[in-house]
Amino acid sequence: MSIHLTAAPRAGSLKTWLAAPVPASRLQARAQQIWRAIWRLRSNTSALFGFAIILLLLLMAIFAPLIATHDIYAQDLSARLQPPSRAHFFGTDELGRDIFSRIVFGARITLYIAILTAAIAAPVGLIVGTTAGYLGGWVDIVLMRIVDVFLAFPSLVLALAFVAALGPGIENSVIAISLASWPPIARLARAETLTIRKSDYVAAARLQGASSWQIIRSDIVPMCIPSVVVRITLNMAAIILTAAGLGFLGLGAQPPSPEWGAMLSTGREFMLTSWWIAAIPGCSILLASLAFNLFGDGLRDILDPRHG
């Protein structure tokens, strides 16, 4: 019995290896797919801009202690309401705290809520949607009626209801936003599954004796993942806005936490005299939401099989 391994190409032949019309191994096929995706992304200026902003936010969140110039909780009433300057890049708030440092640490909270919500909502929606679409019958009816109940309410209103029942806090905000975010993903996964379940390879797996759960796990879910990834990336903007809305209303992260929505809430009282207190957190929320929208649009073009 012989085992054939395809070695990684040398630098000189890498371009030829990636441009081969017929891949010789699974590794080469995967590498060609990734290379084509990166090449399409390079030609999408708006998606690159969104990706750059997201990467910047991630780096800012990771290295926040190194980037911040002041203690985010230190109060200095003698320096309150100072405009942007060399000493305080984004000025100070009503308690004399440095806004730049609080924005930097606030990126951690925003990305934590967004990423954790996506990690919860995407698998739940994917499992519910693929199960309903493949099994059909009463399972489809029951699951989709539950989804319809959730979709009957705006996501922010639904999140407000859940967080009001659970209580304020970051963890409860994540749970509330997740409960409001999974139904659209379930709808999308179900629609994809209704098309995929009629495919020949699914019928072949069924004839070979594979159970419904094996087919869903091995054949249906992998085909639905690209669409779900695109949808959850586009939903990141809505998640960030919902989290900021909860913080603005006092139901999300609690003071003195440097959450952008909470900072915007306290800054609105000084809007006419010290505009930077509310404008800078608001622009941060806008920039983060815009970045995920732009990157999501580019990701949709990359993962869409019609653009191969």
Q: Quick: pLDDT tens for 256-279.
A: 889 999 999 888 888 888 899 999
> Could you give the percent of the chain with pLDDT greater than 70?
87
The torsion angle over the Cα atoms of residues 72, 76, 77 and 83, rounded to 10 degrees, is -70
Which of residues 163 and 31 earns the better pLDDT score?
163
Per-residue confidence at 145, pLDDT binned at 50, 70, 90?
Answer: very high
156 within domain boundaries: yes
Please count the structural domains in the chain: 1
149 within domain boundaries: yes
Residue 252: DSSP 8-state:
S
Q: Which of 22-31, 205-214, 278-287 has the lowest mean pLDDT?
A: 22-31
Give the span between the Cα atoms of 226 and 28, in whole angstroms: 20
Q: Is the pLDDT confidence value at 168 over 70?
A: yes
Q: What is the pTM of this model?
A: 0.83
Range of the domain at 212: 112-252+286-307
216 within domain boundaries: yes
Per-residue confidence at 123, pLDDT binned at 50, 70, 90?
Answer: very high
- Which residue, 233, 184, 239, 226, is CA-closest to 50? 233
Q: Is the pLDDT confidence value at 304 over 80?
A: no
Helices 276-303 and 221-248 meet at what angle, rounded to 10?
A: 170
168 within domain boundaries: yes
28 within domain boundaries: no
194 within domain boundaries: yes
CATH number at residue 144: 1.10.3720.10
